[in-house]
Structure 1
């Protein structure tokens, strides 16, 4: 028997060794850190590896090496002729055409890795969508609304006994998936996870082609949603008899010092086995130590049927999952058939209790917990929606550092990695479905979300809707809520249901929903609703909605800048401080969720173009904190806090509002060591002074019980001289993706808060994934990637040649014997050889461009000429021709191909008449970004085999900055 020790990084760089039997070909794709450390020890070979292989499932990440190209929304010619065949993929099985065909030539397409968001790569335009941050993709841009993805994989003959599936975590949106030309299905929503069984279509022992057509022309939300395969894709292999997709459900009941764990498993049979099986359920702790196990006998379900089995297990003295100590367990489910393990399925779960009380709020493990939450969308600066896993942890850690303990997924099911980060870091979650309704479209989406997510201990509430204004206050909304609520309870009865409501708090949805979700105090009388529905618990599912631009302290509508001081956003709305005081003072309210934790693309209220991101966040789109973060940290956190705003670089004589956020008892303010007075801090409040600006040092001193405990200063800085690069402390150790902060310092090393220099970046040992700076009006590029243009060969003509000996043929120029290529060709009486010619229009013949002709076989042993110059085939591909700039012309170029013709074997054979495509690659500019009020962000990814990554930054008039990441 072969065993492996694999080392998991649990917390704070502590590594735990876990001894576990594994199949020889088992692949660890979801380690806690991306490059798992794996040590192999051979102890004893007691039976054949091939027998052991059959006992394990494989889940292999297949994000690498995809091909991508834009299609077109309605021009089938620009959509590679897809769905134009006489028989389509909807009329005859296996008739995927255009890129959906397995033999389509995609060599000229862009090569990339997933996850991928093509919207973030586009430029900005005032004509583009307000909701999507004015990116030139999606609706209104038919040439950037369809994306094609293709990937080749090999599946060995040894997998013939397995069920082969493709697992997609999320594709935005309206995706069609093909496998070897076979249509698998359509998933309309961009937020659902989905799987397709491809077992019947596999070319075992050979090449297989995965094709995804993505239609992002329609928006699902009113916020930036990206475009493309923005989440992970997996190849899954299981025994025909296996645990079904999302097929476990773990619940627990705590009694004294014991947890009675109920482990339900759904077993699916896609084979012909009939007879006895054994189901073994084992619980491991975080260190991999076995806590308890139970075995029971059962019977395999019938062919293509499922059966549920429930096991009871006891955990003595359980370590509970909570916010401070997010303890996790693992359930190992094994299915035995004739004494052999044929499937092994892992489920991470936590043991904890949750309770809402209409008088006292929310309780976790019997302790009262005030929900200190934020709403968030899914995008980040520089990378759009295609967040690497490390960024999920980065963002949740930023929120935790602010004092937040809860996260609302606004307004759609999240990616699994977000929930895993919340499980491991201790963040409560409201998980929200996309749309309210009672039909299969709505309820099926809801069921899939719940079954996928219900084992995450971080989730404490299901949300079945948000601000459905047409139905919130009427009988229709009441009926829909009743159906969705009861439907949810039928799938998971352990968590309550809520809806975020904004257009009235006394009728319709609000009268029947289990947990009332108040969206903004300004939209109704919360106290009056509570007095009418005293048995209904409630929480603020959205509150605040304030406007602020990081580092800006005077509103400038001309520049679209909002002051960072916490003010009412509108007369009927409330500031962050007003909102928190309201909820903090009312025990019956479980807490509040601020709109939002981070700025996000789109919805640039209160402005429009050229603002491209929101102003709502406590942090900007990079995660750089605005000053409101320190207000929340003061009253949400447990550590002493003292923060002065604003910076101290102003015009002499200007009167400045100085605010101090702190949880100290008293704060004294000093300007150049002269006291400006001591003030007492109000609970959940802040302090203010009006100070006439004088250069120097502004210092705040905080006191508790009369003793000085903290101080904070703002200094007038000198001119910027140096570039400082630093690794953000929220990064996970040993991560593949790292967040770098760029800033400037003066001669004394002080940060310059008003700097806006443009920096240029270069990297060794890795690549840059994206850049940002948090400026809501920045129209700078997020990504700098090579531009790939595909040029069709036009006016394609042919001329017969008398000899098949083409080696000595020369190109034939103008005469009268040319005719349209392949038109009315008599394939039973072809010439010995043909010369073909066509044109391609090269608008930019730049020496730095790479121009390649990807030939598609229209004859045998072709010879290619461009502008009369014979072009040799590439050494790595005899149907690829690299065209030197010296042989090319600006404007129209002539290409000629000389080749003996292909012959038809059968009359109905379809012959290729496409000579190929010209690919023009224009190299990307060097990565660059302006600082915004002192900061910019660079997200980098290490190369697989690189020992270190070196990032350098340059800017005019500044000393170069360099950082090395090991």
Structure 2
């Protein structure tokens, strides 16, 4: 059931002592007392009257976006102050729910979250990007009021961009029988022939063994199957069910056909649990010779990297807006999103399934700690039935990638991923010396399935070919590319200060005419960046290069280079923070949708005070030839070079 409404919210520093200590005995120990006895966490006690004065909010909610921009806050994370906050919600359960399992799910809490119910500690999770589920059955009141409290500590960062704070993704409550489908317990494996193998993991939270029948049907197809499993008390068991859909319609970029699987559990003939899961029929393969193949057909991956940060909502992007963002990218011809650099919102994956957008799904922090391994495992189980997901990325630009320690860590993660999902390949985004990382991986006895390359090693396109020559049987993809800056509609200097390290770097600026500001022409670059046209030419000219992911699809808060304060938004996006196309996005529209005619001229037409001065006119087009006229007079007529642009100085 929906659990997004009627939350009470307050920042941690605004909570009065009487509220924090409500209901606690008067003892001399001045330390925080919630850890001394069970049930002593005051904010989650249903009888605490102080909560009623807190502000009511709806989820998803980002509390940091409500702050004021300040020069004192780090510019790399958006110049918004960090903070801590509490969310509290009252709920009721029927007396008849006693004996059932009461489960609460959160798709994302940023970050280091703690959850309490009726005064009792329930759980804690450090990363702000993982989805969590807690069983609160034993501490609930049945037929009486209940209260849940969630603490979010957004004072630490996991990336160097804006990450928000709070319960910024959806939440829900599930009331289940003691015997039920385990959390993320359905694994659906398909073949394009229509064959389906379902592995259904059943949780038995009762104190007696259970003989469970598992019924599966693909809705609207007539495909049915059945399996059985005996599950010991307080254990889990897995049943395998095989089904067949006749002449299935395949999931593709152009026609993303989805099916729905319904699973029903029966105990002694009685239905005790039912759930549904969407899936699709499709095959994927990465080839060292032919790049990426979807359903046996070569597809060049035309991707963008995307953070979850948008306009006035910050990271609290509702499902409808996630879908809108996907559609804006698809309209450009983009066919893939890299979830940079974290586990994504499930709503994003739903939108990509629906609209035919591929996903390279990235984990947050690689390592061998129990919690980090659990983060990866939970995410694989959550998302492995989405047809849009084609790659599991184990990390981004980690310094350990070119060390022996890193090779051992990634080998462990690689094996973990394949144990949970052998149908999809692994990769990671390697920056710097690709060859050194590849050599270390091989020295430790393994390869990532697809080698991921960020930018151009040594800023040299020929390194793609050198890598292919050295490793002719190793598929590879450009996991991050471009690295330029652009501002929609800006053709003159703003006067905003440029950070010293960029001002003094000659390769940052195309020429002196564009020094110290980020123009719409895309004339400013990070030290590792290149012209957008060069980036796509690198990719499209090499059939063995599976594709590329441009940095980035949308602007986001933080990483404001080359500017510092008062700039608070990045300049990397093909679309701005509100989703409007920048001028360079028109290049993608031309060549990523080459079969749909498109021509775009820049800059704008209004230049008061500049009559008679030469204006730099640029044309993006996928037409064979361009004729430029000014007031009826032909200025130029030229063939359009493939995957490039035309320019003129027009007086």
Q: Same fold (TM over 0.5)?
A: yes
Q: Which runs of structure 2 are paired with 1:210-609 in the superposition (5 Å)?
A: 210-254=148-192, 258-284=193-219, 289-299=220-230, 301-469=231-399, 471-508=400-437, 511=441, 512-523=447-458, 525-558=463-496, 561-567=517-523, 569-570=525-526, 572-609=528-565
8 Å contact from structure 2 (residues 518, 524) kept in 1: no
Deviation at 1:361, TM superposition (A): 0.3
- 1:386-430, Cα deviation, whole Å (9 max, x unpaired): 111110011000000010000000000011100000000100000
1:821-855 C-alpha deviation (Å, 9 max, x unpaired): xxxxxxxxxxxxxxxxxxxxxxxxxxxxxxxxxxx
Write out aligned runs for 1:81-100 (5 A). 88-97=33-42, 99-100=43-44
Distance in 2 (alpha carbons) for counterparts of 1:76 and 1:359? 65
State the distance in 1 between where 2:236 and 2:135 align: 16
- Closer, same or farther in 2 for the Cα pair 1:61/1:85, shift >3 Å? farther
Shift of 1:198: 1.0
Contact 2:113–2:153 (CA<8 Å) still a contact in 1?
yes
1:82-105 deviations in whole A, cap 9, x for unaligned?
9987783333221213x2333222
| 1:658 equivalent in alignment to 2:589 | no
Q: Please, what is the CA RMSD of the aligned residues?
A: 1.9
Structure with a larger share of its residues in helix:
2
1:607–1:450 distance in 2 versus 1, CA, 3 Å: same
Hey, what's the Cα distance between the residues in 2 that align with 1:614 and 1:683? 30
In 2, distance between residues paired with 1:571 and 1:671? 38
| Aligned counterpart, 1:668 | 627
5+ long unaligned stretches in structure 2? 442-446, 499-516
Residues 225 and 232 (structure 1 numbering): CA distance in 2 closer, same or farther, change over 3 Å?
A: same
Specify the SS of the correspondent of 1:307. strand
Is 2:61 the partner of 1:101?
no
Identify the match of residue 685 of structure 1 among 632, 644, 651. Answer: 644
The 2-side partners of 1:538 and 1:555 are apart by: 40
Q: Is the 8 A contact 1:165 1:196 kept in 2?
A: yes
Q: Tell me, in whole angstroms, the C-alpha distance in 2 between the residues paired with 1:70 and 1:275.
A: 46
In structure 1, how many angstroms separate the alpha carbons of the residues matched to 2:69 and 2:34? 36
Moved more, 394-403 or 437-446: 437-446
State the Cα distance separating 1:571 from its structure 2 match. 5.7
In structure 2, distance between residues paired with 1:523 and 1:556: 32
* CA–CA separation in structure 2 for the residues paired with 1:159 and 1:371: 49
Aligned to 1:705: none
- 2:74 aligned to 105, 125, 129, which one? 129
- Measured against aligned partners, the alpha-carbon deviations of 1:776-802 in whole angstroms (never above 9, x if no partner) come to xxxxxxxxxxxxxxxxxxxxxxxxxxx
Give the superposition deviation at 1:460.
Answer: 0.2
CA gap of 1:571–1:386, structure 2 versus 1, over 3 A, is: closer
Q: Does the 8 Å CA contact 1:472/1:509 hold for their aligned counterparts?
A: no
What are the Cα deviations for residues 588-624 of structure 1, in whole angstroms up to 9, with x where unaligned?
1001000000000111011111110100000000001
Unaligned runs of 5+ in 1: 1-59, 139-144, 693-966
Q: Cα deviation per residue 1:633-681 (whole Å; 9 max; x = unaligned)?
A: 1110131111111101112123211111110000111111111111101
Of structures 1 and 2, the one with the larger relative CO (CA 8 A, separation 6+) is 2
Contact 1:71/1:78 (8 A) holds in 2: no
Q: Whole-Å Cα distance in 2 between the matches of residues 685 and 385 of structure 1?
A: 35
After superposition, what is the alpha-carbon deviation per residue over 1:698-722, rounded to whole angstroms, capped at 9, x for unaligned?
xxxxxxxxxxxxxxxxxxxxxxxxx
User: Do 1:321 and 1:351's aligned partners in 2 also have CA atoms closer than 8 Å?
Assistant: yes
- Cα deviation 1:506-548 (Å, max 9, x = unaligned): 1235743221111011546332222222211111100001100
Q: TM-score, normalised by structure 1?
A: 0.62
Tell me by how many angstroms 1:557 deviates: 4.8
Give the secondary-structure state (helix, strand or coil) at the position aligned to 2:484.
Answer: coil
- 1:36-87 per-residue CA deviation (whole Å, 9 max, x = no partner) reads xxxxxxxxxxxxxxxxxxxxxxxx11111111111139x9959945998778
The residue that corresponds to 1:617 in the other structure is 573
Residue 643 of structure 1: aligned partner: 600
Q: 1:190 aligns to what?
A: 128
Compute the TM-score of the two structures, normalised by the length of structure 2.
0.92
Structure 2 CA distance for aligned equivalents of residues 221 and 132 of structure 1: 8
Deviation at 1:555, TM superposition (A): 4.5
> Size of the alignment, in residue pairs?
615
